[in-house]
């Protein structure tokens, strides 16, 4: 799944109507509803404030509203764009200021879906990946150089803990575990050990 990198807006003008899409990251339905209510207050005089949101690690919670537009012409196409892009934990509100020219069902579907798609392109997406947490243990003499090497290595350093020695939590993809072990042995001359623990979810820019 993916999520948006942050909130933002994008505006389209189609046959004198303004379609303003606002996006926000939301963690649950309460946050989604609060964002929608905020947008409706801000654009109380608009013809429509149509909505869609997707929530959950698997995108299992999905809601949409046409807000007075013909059934299926606004909220559903907005939701379809979020689903097609595999976006979750995000809410979209498309505000329409009517320009006096009717667009027809097909025109509305393209306008509302297009506004969300353009807004997603504008704010950018992050991929959510589940990685293993590898804990590396080293002594203090080795720790400074090892931390610098980890930060430069491309592996994601999650946490550093100091005790009798220094422990580093590193996020590593399952297929890369063997390669990480080889990198660590070379970087430390075999003087640091590691254990593979649970998993964590990280957000990264999609590969192009």
Tens digits of residue pLDDT in 113-145: 999 999 999 999 999 888 999 999 999 999 999
Running DSSP on this structure, what letter comes out for residue 87? Answer: B
**Pick from 99, 105, 106: nearest CA to 19:** 99
Token pair of 59 as six digits: 């995108």
Residue 208 pLDDT class (50, 70, 90 cuts): low
E strand spans, 105-165: 125-138, 156-162
State residue 88's pLDDT score.
96
> Over the stretch 30-49, which tens digit does the pLDDT of each residue have?
999 999 999 999 999 999 99
Are 112 and 19 within 8 A, CB to CB? yes
Beta bridge partners of 168: 136, 160
Domains of the chain are: 2-123 (3.30.230.30), 129-204 (3.30.70.240)
Would you call 45 helix, strand, or coil by DSSP? coil
């Amino acid at each position: 799944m993916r999520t948006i990198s942050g909130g933002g807006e994008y505006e389209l003008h189609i046959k004198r109507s303004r379609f303003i899409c606002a996006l926000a990251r939301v963690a649950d339905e309460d946050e989604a509803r609060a964002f929608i209510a905020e947008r409706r207050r801000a654009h109380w005089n608009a013809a429509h404030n149509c909505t869609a949101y997707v929530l959950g690690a698997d995108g299992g919670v999905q809601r949409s509203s046409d807000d007075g537009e013909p059934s299926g012409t606004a909220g559903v196409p907005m939701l379809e764009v979020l689903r097609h892009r595999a976006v979750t934990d995000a809410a979209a509100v498309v505000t329409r200021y009517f320009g006096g020219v009717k667009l027809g069902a097909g025109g509305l579907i393209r306008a509302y879906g297009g506004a969300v798609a353009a807004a997603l392109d504008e704010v950018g997406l992050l991929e959510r990946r589940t990685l293993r947490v590898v804990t590396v243990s080293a002594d203090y003499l080795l720790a400074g150089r090892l931390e610098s090497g980890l930060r430069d290595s491309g592996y994601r350093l999650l946490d550093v803990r100091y005790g009798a020695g220094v422990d580093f939590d590193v996020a590593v993809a399952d297929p890369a575990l063997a390669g990480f072990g080889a990198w660590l042995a070379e970087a430390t001359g075999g003087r640091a050990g590691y254990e593979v623990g649970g998993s964590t979810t990280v957000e990264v820019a999609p590969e192009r």
